[in-house]
Structure 1
Amino acid sequence: MLTNFKKHIEENFSFLKGKKNLIACSGGVDSVVLTHLTKNLNLEIALAHCNFSLRGEESDGDEQFVTAVAEKLDIPIFTETFDTHKYADEQKVSTQMAARTLRYNWFEEVLSNFNYDYLLTAHHLDDDLETFFINLSRGTGLNGLTGIPKKNHKVVRPLLNFSREEIMNYAEANKLKWREDSTNQKTDYLRNKLRLEVIPYFKETNENILKNFKKTQDNLIASQNLIDDYISLVYKLVISKKSDSYHLNIQKLQELPHTDELLYELLKDFGFPEWNDVSNLLDAQTGKQVLSKTHRLLKNRDELILSEVVKNPKEEEYLVPEEGISAPIKLEINQSIAIGETEKNTIYLDAEKLNFPLKLRRWKKGDSFKPFGMSGSKKLSKFFKDEKLSATEKEKIWVLVDKNKVVWIVGKRMDDSYKVTDKTEKIVEITYVS
């Protein structure tokens, strides 16, 4: 196996050479074999071990064992102990999910704090097959059937081409020692049930199942790559970026075959829970929207607007002194001797009518102002409607206020009450630097 592993690294993971590599080592046979293989190839490695405090003395024994492996091989080791049950209760997640979150968050800290380039995990071909069955049982698209990626950003899985049997044979031939996790023999979890009961049956009926699975998976990956290339072309055709939102042209999308499928591929990564609601937006009235935990999809006339959900926008409020501010937006305030060229991003005000510090905040329901050049007042909501602003555009509007009186809808229109007249003695110039 060492010869095949060396060839595999040279052909597919040559970028690991000369880099600092951190190995996630549980003490099980898979991670122990990965440690020995990479050590034999003279890669620069260190071990990272998580003690989740889930199996009492057994968990502590795993930590002691991994520490001993590191000492024997003369390589650095990092260990961390977690109160996994407490974290799971606090976050209201399963123990498995808690352990996964704690593990990868800590790995990221070690990578960053100690300048390691990659995290190596010992996932192998049998793990990949188990993941395939898990995703299949839960319902998934093509992407969910392509398996565990060999590389995902800094996470690298160099054993994915090797079976559990090959790993065990290497460990036994080289008289390696490892730790057995007693929970791996319990069938409470779907993965364990597949590993202990389902997949062995498949192997009995077809000894080439792993080889055939690998071939099938390669075909699925090739198909997914083809789809990804096509979606990239569709993206350029139907989506445009405006400020910090994305606008999808419905007419252009509907001119293409398989509209719903294309919409899914374009938006599948944004976590919308009910896909039918997303699809129905294509024919919905303006103003209809669908929310995920992180994003909003809004129907606005002949387009769908995708934007991040703004958290508590009404609560943001910032004092604006006479010298201006640089965040959350940049406002430059200067004294002026005359009115310059009128622009949406620059206004000229009668200084004596202003009471500094001003306030910058999001607009609120009920806000009104006297639009520059008009005699009467108007609700901001009515002004936005006249301007044909979408819901997401309205959410991002800032207003500059003086004692709760709107001075300027930033970048849009100022209040007529603050305009410069022939009686004005001091002029203030305010510029929004976008």
Structure 2
Amino acid sequence: MLKEFQDHLESRLSFLKNRRLLIAISGGIDSVVLTHLCYKYDLNIALAHCNFNLRGKDSDADEDFVLQLAEDLDLEVFIESFDTEGYAEEHKRSIQMAARELRYNWFTELSEQLKFDYVLTAHHTDDNLETFLINFTRGTGLEGLTGIPEVNDIFVRPLLPFSNEQIADYAKVNQIRWRDDSSNKSTKYLRNKLRHDVIPILKEINPSLLQSFQNTLSNLNDTSCIVDGAIESFRKETIDSVTNQDIKYKVEAFKKLKAPKAYLYEVFKEYGFTQWDDILNLLTAQPGKYVASLTHRLIKDRDVLILTSINNDEAVEESITVLDTNSTLKIPCGFLEFSEVDMVSHEHDEHCIYIDKGLLHSPLTIRQKKQGDAFSPLGMKGKKKKLSKFFKDEKFSLVDKENTWLFCSDDNIVWVIGKRADDRFKVTDKTKHILKIELIQ
């Protein structure tokens, strides 16, 4: 196996040479064999072990074993102890999911802080088959049937082409010691149930199951490449516009397809959506309807679907008080630059207005729309117009409305910022002090 492993690294993973590598090691047979193979191949490796504190003395014994292995091979080792059950309860995760998040977060943090180039994990062909079957039984798209990626950002799986049997034979021939995890024998976990109850039957039906599976994965990955190319081409054709706030997609482009739901899935799957029937219904829904994931919204607006992110990290201020009309003020949609000038140098536009400073009354605020808002659009000579009607006439999308800010004097709208000034505050022959306000984005 050593020769096959070396050949595999030479042909597929040669970039690992002369790089700082961190091996995720549990103490089990797979990660221990991976450590020995990399050590014999003279790769620059260190070890990282997670103690999840789930198996009492056995967890501590695993840690001691890894420490001893590191000493025997003269390797640097990092150990982290986790309160896995506490994390699972706090974040409402299963124990397995909690352990996964904790270890991958730690590996990533460790690699960033100590400048490791890659993290190696010991996933092999049998693991790949189990993952395939798990995704298959739960329901998935094509990407869920293409297996564990050999390289995924900083994570590399050098043992993916090798079976559990090959790894066990190598450990036996080379008299390699490892730790058995008793939890791997419990069939209360789906992965273990497949490993102990289902896969042996499949191997009995087809003794060459793993080879057949590898061939199937190869075919599926080839198909996936074709699909990815077609989707990327379609994505470029169907995008209507891209801004810092959103991406707009042409509804008609999806409607023309024979399988619009499949295309919707491929285009928007990376944004966390799960309600694909609801997203399909957006194509014929009324403007303003939307479907949300934890991180994004997909909004129907006339002839486009608008994709916009949900910012859960920053709380938007309800209002901003303008304390100085001779300075620059940062607001959510850019900067407002205030300056007193002697004359109006050009006509109003969307980003620059001139107003009669003497008509302003405190408090001066920057706020978003509220129920019942109305103003007198410049040029309408004092005629009032509801802000909601203005939005409708201007064909504002839901996102446009949410990102529109108002400059107000004593709660009266002076400027729909970046859109329209109010006629009541315009400069006239009686104006003594002219205030210029410019939006800089």
Task: Say whether the fold is shared (TM-score over 0.5).
Answer: yes
Structure 1 residues 399 and 274, CA, compared in 2 at 3 Å: closer, same or farther? same
Distance 1:59 1:35 in 2: 19
SS in 2 for 1:26: coil
1:368 corresponding residue in structure 2: 374
Structure 1 residues 313 and 4, CA, compared in 2 at 3 Å: closer, same or farther? same
1:212 equivalent in alignment to 2:206: no
Gaps of 5+ in 2: none
Equivalent of 1:336, from 337, 341, 344?
A: 341
1:6 equivalent in alignment to 2:6: yes
Distance 2:311 2:303 in 1: 23
Contact 2:363 2:410 in 1 (8 A): no
2:310 corresponding residue in structure 1: 309
Contact 1:314 1:362 in 2 (8 A): no
Equivalent of 2:384, from 377, 380, 396?
A: 377
Cα displacement string for residues 94-117 of structure 1 (whole angstroms, at most 9, x for unaligned residues): 111111111111112111111112
Contact 1:318 1:361 in 2 (8 A): yes
Contact 1:314 1:364 in 2 (8 A): no
1:146 corresponding residue in structure 2: 146
1:351 equivalent in alignment to 2:357: yes
2:436 corresponding residue in structure 1: 429
1:273 equivalent in alignment to 2:274: yes
1:247 equivalent in alignment to 2:253: no
**What amino acid sits opposite 2:29 in the alignment?**
V
Contact 2:377 2:384 in 1 (8 A): yes
Alignment coverage as a number of residue pairs: 434
2:320 corresponding residue in structure 1: 318
Structure 1 residues 304 and 112, CA, compared in 2 at 3 Å: closer, same or farther? same
Moved more, 38-47 or 127-136: 38-47
Q: Normalising by the residue count of structure 2, what TM-score does the alignment of the two structures yield?
A: 0.93
Distance 2:14 2:366 in 1: 53
SS in 1 for 2:283: helix
**What amino acid sits opposite 1:391 in the alignment?**
L
Structure 1 residues 145 and 26, CA, compared in 2 at 3 Å: closer, same or farther? same
Structure 1 residues 380 and 13, CA, compared in 2 at 3 Å: closer, same or farther? same
Contact 1:349 1:429 in 2 (8 A): yes
**What amino acid sits opposite 1:192 in the alignment?**
N
1:397 equivalent in alignment to 2:379: no
Distance 1:336 1:128 in 2: 70
**What amino acid sits opposite 2:126 in the alignment?**
D
**What amino acid sits opposite 2:397 in the alignment?**
S
Deviation at 1:360, TM superposition (A): 2.8
Deviation at 1:358, TM superposition (A): 4.0
SS in 2 for 1:220: helix
SS in 2 for 1:348: strand
1:225 corresponding residue in structure 2: 225
2:180 corresponding residue in structure 1: 180
1:81 corresponding residue in structure 2: 81
* CA RMSD across the alignment: 2.0
Distance 2:385 2:331 in 1: 28
**What amino acid sits opposite 2:349 in the alignment?**
E
Contact 2:260 2:280 in 1 (8 A): no
SS in 1 for 2:273: coil
Equivalent of 1:410, from 405, 417, 430?
A: 417
Deviation at 1:332, TM superposition (A): 2.2
SS in 2 for 1:283: coil
Distance 2:420 2:315 in 1: 21
Distance 2:385 2:160 in 1: 65
Q: Normalising by the residue count of structure 1, what TM-score does the alignment of the two structures yield?
A: 0.94
Contact 2:362 2:410 in 1 (8 A): no
Contact 1:289 1:299 in 2 (8 A): yes
Deviation at 1:359, TM superposition (A): 3.1
- Percentage of matched positions with identical amino acids: 49
SS in 2 for 1:93: coil
Distance 1:43 1:250 in 2: 52
Structure 1 residues 45 and 407, CA, compared in 2 at 3 Å: closer, same or farther? farther
1:71 corresponding residue in structure 2: 71
Cα displacement string for residues 345-370 of structure 1 (whole angstroms, at most 9, x for unaligned residues): 11122233446784333323333322
Cα displacement string for residues 221-263 of structure 1 (whole angstroms, at most 9, x for unaligned residues): 1001100000111111112333121212122333343333222
